[in-house]
A = this chain, B = another copy of it.
């Protein structure tokens, strides 16, 4: 298992070229995904393991990727904890009754992922069986802060005012919610490894809205707990966020194996800030995939020239956008393979 190039890079072992995958590599930009979506909602797909596995594998048939990531959603645990939501047309997920009070938090409950999210685990097993053994399989979950914010805001937010108001106004309730999410997330991610995942990514897309003092007080204890609860699995743990360059040093204290960096921070700066004890993943701006090919490849080259390996995985700084032409991903994968082999 440790022969997979993706896993070796996560462990900062030397590799013959830079491994590459893309966040949201399965999804709406692919015609074959849209074809399936014509007959099924997103939640129908994730609830049918055969369909979820098929969608997971679609990008692997087109592109020479070094990792697959199971097709699922960071909010899948919510209904199992008593928080219902739906995907509103063109709006993303909308929580029916956002969590804003201690009383609501007291009513939330834990669950057994082997039962309640068995469909995700089944999809992982199917993919595991069909995947090229050289390709790594990633499981994932939302990080407690980002999932808590979703629960509290009820939808996307520009300023996370409700989340911070709860955090500042009822610190006990906040920590209770975070502890619940941390426990659930540990169990869910452990189950994913049991089902065949050989690395795990934690999506903390929204954590960059916090300053360092707040991160340290309201989030870090739970991050530490989370990584501690997964450590014995001996699979690489990736912590991904956006706009969080001011938090990198503090995030590293929880000991992820890999930190995902967005395009705002040059990777060489991240390496300076973090030292050599962690692998880096990133950081092409997904909007660059909408640019003419010469601009796109210039930006790929700039990422590679940061030259931060060993311990580097090429990826985007956020997910593939729906208007992306799949051919742009082909061009990026080719370029990464070509240039990273030269050096």
Contacts and interface: CB of A to CB of B under 8 A. Distances in A.
A158 interface: yes
A263 B158 contact: no
Each complex incorporates copies of this chain amounting to 2
A161 B302 contact: no
Given A161-B287, A211-B285, A243-B264, 19 more contacts: A156-B158, A159-B318, A160-B287, A161-B323, A164-B285, A164-B291, A165-B287, A168-B292, A168-B295, A169-B290, A169-B292, A169-B295, A209-B264, A211-B264, A212-B266, A213-B302, A243-B243, A246-B265, A246-B266
Contacts of A323: 161
Contacts of A264: 208-211, 243, 246
A60 interface: no
A159 B211 contact: no
Nearest to A211: B263
A154 to B, nearest CB: 14
B263 A168 contact: no
Contacts of A161: 287, 290, 321, 323
A213 B269 CA distance: 14
Interface residues of A, number: 36
A286 interface: yes
A291 B323 CA distance: 40
Nearest to A168: B291
A126 interface: no
A264 B242 CA distance: 13
A305 to B, nearest CB: 11
A340 interface: no
A288 interface: yes
Interface string A249-285: 0000000000000011110010000000000000001
Nearest to A287: B164
Contacts of A168: 287-288, 290-292, 295-296
